[in-house]
Amino acid sequence: MTDETQQMQQETQAFRQLLQQVRGAVGHVMVGQHRVVEGVLTAMICGGNVLLEGVPGLGKTQLVKTLAAALNLDFKRIQFTPDLMPADVIGTNIMTTDESGGGSGSYRFEFRKGPIFTQLLLADEINRATPKTQSAMLEVMQERSVTASGTTHKMKEPYFVLATQNPIEQEGTYPLPEAQLDRFLFKITVPFPSEGELNEIVSRTILKQAQEVPQVLNGPKIMAMRKLLNKVVVADAMRDYAVRMVLGTHPQTDAAPDTVKKFVRWGASPRAAQGLILAARVRALTEGRPHVAFEDIRYFATEVLGHRILLNYDGQAEDIAVGDLINQILEHLVETP
């Protein structure tokens, strides 16, 4: 065993331990939702944004606040409403007086940063804001920067946007544009808890004293974990598998199964292929492997592809489940070593 291989094994083991510690810290507050927590942590290590979808009361907001405490990151929350304006999110220029010279002072414009300037941003009920306000998020979600009055302000890394939305309430909401949906690495559906989990939630929140969240990670450690992803080997066959998976979502390609050709209007973007590889690298490290396997690419296929597939009229009329289409794409794919 070479020194380089031994070092990679040690770094992989340390990576796994840190992730387990974060999950344990989140478990002090959150009950169940292991797949949701795993998905959010994976996306954050990749540097991606997450859209959490679920009915009210499932702990989506609490999960984000708990993660902020466990990761020791600057945290801010924006409650999206129909009357929210872009300046309420980004910030605005205000006129101030400079009295440093001892005289009457001169007027100047000063940029006052909005709540978007943080490290972990919770965009709560993001689909309640108008398209004009939602578009204010596009630049920061993709480029980690904000341009205001011709000046570009870079965000402090690591930077993540975690957004929530309610799938059953449509009054007073605006569908997220495809350009914004594509900027979410994952869309994660938060399931309703089981009977045992529901009992534990009531016990923790009503019958017992609230637990404190231990701090496990910080910004520099997260950036170091992200650098380790570059060392995970992605063979040509693995990359080709991810590419063919994305092509399988496009009805005009030979890689698409018949159901996709019948019910899909448009498939996933190139960002989906990038997301599959990034998430697979994290998955490989959590499994103790310095290389990506086919199962790693398949593992987060629903979270990466689900919100990027647009159904046509027939698909919407027949209420086709996108998750079923993704499963058929995976069955249609052939693993070629």
pLDDT digits (tens, 9 = 90+) for 30-40: 887 889 989 99
Same structural domain, 302 and 226 = no
- The reported pTM is 0.89
For 238-282, write each residue's pLDDT tens digit: 999 999 999 999 999 988 899 999 999 999 999 999 999 999 999
Average pLDDT, integer, range 116-133: 90
Q: Which residues have a Cβ under 8 Å from the Cβ of 60 and sit 6 or more positions away?
A: 52, 54, 164, 190
Amino acid at 71: L
What's residue 336's pLDDT?
64
Q: Please check whether residue 252 lies inside any domain of the structure.
A: yes
Same structural domain, 250 and 217 = no
Average pLDDT, integer, range 74-103: 81
Amino acid at 311: L
- Alpha-carbon distance of 125 to 51, in angstroms, equals 10
Same structural domain, 190 and 51 = yes
Same structural domain, 244 and 264 = yes
What's residue 247's pLDDT?
94
pLDDT over 90 for what percent of the chain? 37
Same structural domain, 199 and 284 = no
Same structural domain, 197 and 244 = no
> Are 68 and 217 in contact, with CB atoms under 8 Å apart?
no
Identify the CA nearest to 61 among candidates 190, 209, 194, 192.
190
Q: Which residues have a Cβ under 8 Å from the Cβ of 333 and sit 6 or more positions away?
A: 241, 244, 245, 248, 255
Q: Which residues have a Cβ under 8 Å from the Cβ of 176 and sit 6 or more positions away?
A: 51, 126, 127, 134, 165
Same structural domain, 70 and 183 = yes
Residue 225 phi, psi (nearest 5): -65, -35
**Which H or E run includes 227?**
helix 219-229
Same structural domain, 131 and 166 = yes
Average pLDDT, integer, range 283-287: 92
Query: Of 172, 201, 230, which marks where a domain is finished?
Result: 230
Total tally of structural domains belonging to the chain: 2
CATH code of the domain in which 333 resides: 1.10.8.80
Query: Of 201, 230, 259, which marks where a domain is finished?
Result: 230
For 179-237, write each residue's pLDDT tens digit: 888 999 999 998 888 888 888 888 877 766 667 788 888 888 899 889 999 999 999 99
What's residue 238's pLDDT?
94
Same structural domain, 35 and 157 = yes
Same structural domain, 184 and 253 = no
Q: Please check whether residue 88 lies inside any domain of the structure.
A: no
| Residue range(s) defining the domain that contains residue 282 | 232-337
Q: Please check whether residue 201 lies inside any domain of the structure.
A: yes
What's residue 337's pLDDT?
58
Report residue 2's pLDDT band, with 50, 70 and 90 as the boundaries: confident
**Block residue for tokens 């129909």:** 82
Residue 42, pLDDT > 90, answer: yes
Which of 96-105, 130-139, 276-285 has the highest average model confidence (pLDDT)? 276-285
CATH code of the domain in which 35 resides: 3.40.50.300
